[in-house]
Amino acid sequence: NNREHVSRGALIVLEGLDRCGKTTQCGKLVSFLEGRGLPVEAWRFPDRNTNIGRMISSYLTNQSQLDDQAIHLLFSANRWEKRSLMENKLRNGTTIVVDRYSYSGVSFSAAKGLDIEWCKASEKGLIAPDLVVYLDIMPEEAASRGGYGSERYERLEFQMNVAHYYRILHDAAWKVIDACLPLDSIENQIQGLALESIKSCQKNPLSTLWL
């Protein structure tokens, strides 16, 4: 059977505070992998293109109000609604590079004061990443980068809280990169980690959060 010869794709997640450079690095990584002829897709959460995503976007841009628990569950639901597609792509050999995932979901909600275990519960069963790259930046440094936009959460005080919860979630599978290094140095490090993970994930079946 042919399918057995198709190696699976890797789930690669980039995380970090707002303005840490994730989105730039996701784009660079996807181009790099494409250039190597590897099947790859760029994803991001929240995915604002679904009905749930539009509710999230309206909340983030202050066009609607929601209780903290309600918006948390919408962010989770936005990942759940893409879960089966994600699994199919990975099984068919496509590597997925994701700009934010469950770690954002838990850190941002816990930073508001919600119980961290409650925050994790709705994420349980989502596909576990093969690689999490955390772009590490001091909240003060991030705030000084061209300034925050006008969305919710883009405030220094709040980002300091988020950083605290990222530190709690951080485990051995995370690769931490200093977000203040030169761009091409960050880019090269991520490329190396990604290639390694695409190779080594073949040995591991897909697994689910939280490990």
Tokens of 183: 């761009």
Least CB distance from residue 146 to ligand NYM, whole Å? 14
Find the binding residues for ligand NYM in span 163-192 (CB under 6 A): none
- Phi-psi domain of 42 (left: phi exceeds 0; alpha: psi -120 through 50; beta: other): beta
Piece of the chain touching ligand NYM by CB under 6 A; list 30-38, 85-93, 96-104, 181-189: 96-104
SS3 category, 131: strand
Least CB distance from residue 27 to ligand NYM, whole Å? 13
Residue nearer to ligand NYM on the CB measure, 111 or 198: 111
> One symbol per residue from 100 to 119: x for binding ligand NYM (CB under 6 A), - otherwise; what is it?
x---xx--x-----------
Residue nearer to ligand NYM on the CB measure, 40 or 60: 60
Helix-helix angle 102-110:68-80, to 10 degrees: 180
Give the binding-site size for ligand NYM (rule: CB under 6 A): 11
Q: State the greatest distance between any 2 C-alpha atoms of the chain, in Å, as a whole number.
A: 55
Nearest-CA neighbor of 146 among 58, 24, 14, 15? 24
Residue nearer to ligand NYM on the CB measure, 6 or 85: 85
Residue nearer to ligand NYM on the CB measure, 13 or 201: 13
Residue among 60, 119, 194, 201 that touches ligand NYM (CB under 6 A)? 60
Residue among 80, 148, 153, 158 that touches ligand NYM (CB under 6 A)? 153
Residue among 8, 11, 32, 45 that touches ligand NYM (CB under 6 A)? 45
Contact between 18 and ligand NYM by CB under 6 A: the answer reads yes
Helix-helix angle 102-110:156-169, to 10 degrees: 120
Cα–Cα distance list, 37 to 22, 31, 52, 180 (Å): 23, 10, 33, 30
Measured CA to CA, the distance from residue 13 to residue 135 in angstroms comes to: 11
Instruction: Give 48's DSSP letter.
Output: T
Interacting residues toward ligand NYM by CB under 6 A: 18, 45-46, 60, 75, 99-100, 104-105, 108, 153
